[in-house]
Amino acid sequence: MAGKDYYELLGVKKDATEKEIKQAYRRLARRYHPDVNPGDKSAEARFKEINNAYEILSDKDKRQKYDKYGDKWQYADQFEQAARQQPQWDFSQGGGSYHFGGDIGGMDSIFDELFSGGGRARTHSRRTRQARGEDLESPVEVTLEEAYKGTTRTISLEMPETCRTCRGTGRIQNIACSTCRGSGMVADIKRLEVKIPAGVQTGSRVRIAGKGQPGFDGGSSGDLYLRITIGPHPTLEREGDNLATTIPVPLTVAVLGGEVQVPTPSGKLALKIPPETQNGRIFRLAGRGMPRLGSSGHGDLLAKVNVVLPTGLSEKEKELFRQLKGIRD
């Protein structure tokens, strides 16, 4: 996703409302869902990009960070902390004193003006203290089937680290460091394979201990949190640990009884339909729902009957229905 515009991916303007963003996401998710485009790798990749973009823009705090830092939004706290840790500068000129600190990289014009006028600068020593690294969060989108069985993902993290060129000061001989552009930090890409347990749902946060931002001055590393989103499924809907689906049942089967196939995350299941089953009846398939996260057992699968009336009847079939009507009347 590096360098890509999340607003452009969803086809919305930068001042789009939450409702507009949600509507755009739903429209694109239905279009590019892997179940709608089986075997289409480009559609699958597009679907993941759309989910990632929605994950950011639908969250107010993340959206603000993205608007400020672009695709490096995840490291906003680290970058701002690094900026606050930059050396502070005192300038004295013509009897007046000036104090600056924080974002050194954005002060080049001020430095030029003061130094051209004979000003002098003095760098204060900076004391560092041990501190735990920041926690990181990474969005992960999985299918309902993956959430049912559990899965793994290889994710790429851009981990800010101290710039070796300027040793984190952001400047070399009073000039902004060209490597980190005055921030004192550079990004190092790390790849990590993570396990996602069975039973996760949208909104679940999976903690990966010690895989967050490295600590300062020997402090412990933060944690990595995977924020889970379950992609839409064409036939199954999740209701907590239960699953719900609607099954088409031919009229003849509903009247005389028979079997129909019910979709489940682990494959299709045969369901016996008793004679004279009414439209809208719900069958509860115990233990065929989602696994319960962090405990044993599964939820249930609720299958709702949708009786399908026959079409394109032959004259003989119509006559049989007339006879049935006469008998019932």
Task: Supply the pTM of this predicted model.
Answer: 0.56
Provide DSSP, 177-217.
Answer: -TTTTTSSEEEEEEEEEEEE-TT--TT-EEEETT-SSPPBT
Phi, psi of 49 (to 5 degrees): -65, -40
Domain ranges of the chain: 237-328
Q: What is the fold of 237-328?
A: HSP40/DNAj peptide-binding domain (2.60.260)
| Burial (CB count within 10 angstroms: exposed 0-12, middle 13-18, buried 19+), residue 159 | buried
- The mean predicted confidence, pLDDT, of the chain is 81
Residue 21 has pLDDT above 80, yes or no: yes
Percentage of the chain lying above the pLDDT 90 cut: 44
Q: Is the pLDDT of residue 19 over 70?
A: yes
**Confidence at residue 200, expressed as pLDDT on a 0 to 100 scale:** 95
Average pLDDT of 115-123?
Answer: 40
Phi/psi class of residue 160: alpha, beta or left (left: φ > 0; alpha: ψ in -120 to 50)?
A: beta
Using the Cα atoms of residue 232, residue 32, residue 265 and residue 269 in order, give the sign of their dihedral.
positive
Sign of CA dihedral 163, 164, 167, 172: negative
Mean pLDDT to the nearest integer, 1-13: 80
pLDDT (tens digit, 9 = 90+) per residue, 49-69? Answer: 888 888 889 988 889 888 888
Q: What is the tens place of the pLDDT at every residue in 161-171?
A: 777 788 777 78
Question: What pLDDT was estimated at residue 83?
Answer: 56
Q: Is the pLDDT of residue 181 over 80?
A: no
pLDDT surpassing 60 at residue 229:
yes
Q: In Å, how far are 87, 123, 151, 172, 188 from 182, measured between CA atoms? A: 11, 15, 41, 9, 17
